[in-house]
Amino acid sequence: MGITRITWNVCSICKLSIHYDHVRCVCGNIDVIHVELSLSLSLSLSLEKLARSRASESRGERAERERESERGRRERESRERRERESEARERERERESEREDARERERERESERERRERERERERERERRERREREAREREQERGERRDERARETSRESERRASMR
């Protein structure tokens, strides 16, 4: 039994056989794979018979097959476009969610800064109040000491006058 070597082109996407003088597949792909195969004679004859039946296919049948293929291609492109659009919307939702999270973190940081500033202001006010109270106590103590000193002075003066009499 003899060996026959056959070669043909195959679409790299849909794996359909492409006629050797065609530039593109019916799916629109222009990337083809060149295939070479060594076959036994019986298999080779079966393939030739299949090729002849394909070749004798009426133009109407071929046009119908091409329309089906074109419809399939359009449906696939439409589905892929919808998937891409859906993925793009999902990515945009994720980005918006990330932006909202970033805004929320910034609001929290701002709120924390304001809280710390209010706390520092309360602390400064408390220190001012304590200083005023301390100064008032010190003044009151000094007045008391001066009063006591005057009272002692008056008392000594009275004793001196009393001793002179």
The model's confidence at residue 10, banded by pLDDT at 50, 70 and 90, is: confident
Query: How big is the chain by its Cα radius of gyration, in Å?
Result: 51
In a domain, 165, yes or no: no
Residues 47 and 126 placed together within one structural domain of the fold: no
* Higher-scoring residue by pLDDT: 29, 98: 98
Instruction: Judge whether residue 39 has pLDDT over 80.
Output: no
Q: Same domain, yes or no, for 2 and 82?
A: no
49, with CB counted inside 10 A (0-12, 13-18, 19+), is exposed
Are 8 and 17 a contacting pair, CB within 8 Å? yes
Residue 27 has pLDDT above 90, yes or no: no
Range(s) of the domain holding residue 13 = 1-56
- Tell whether 133 and 71 lie within a shared domain: yes
Same domain, 30 and 82: no
Residues 52 and 62 in one domain: no
Question: Which tokens hold the place of 29?
Answer: 């792909």
- Residue 106 above 90 pLDDT? yes
Last residue in a domain, options 36, 56, 76: 56
Looking at the fold, whether 47 and 93 belong to one and the same domain comes out as no
Alpha-carbon 8 to chain mean position: 47
For the stretch 94-101, contacts whose Cβ atoms lie closer than 8 Å and that sit 24 or more positions apart, written own/partner, are none
Sequence-distant contacts of 67-71: CB under 8 A, at least 24 apart: 69/26, 69/27, 70/26
In a domain, residue 144? The reply is yes
Same domain membership, residue 29 and residue 65: no
- List the structure tokens of 26: 């019916």
Q: Is the pLDDT of residue 94 over 70?
A: yes
Phi, psi of 140 (to 5 degrees): -65, -40
- Among residues 13, 32, 56, the one where a domain terminates is 56
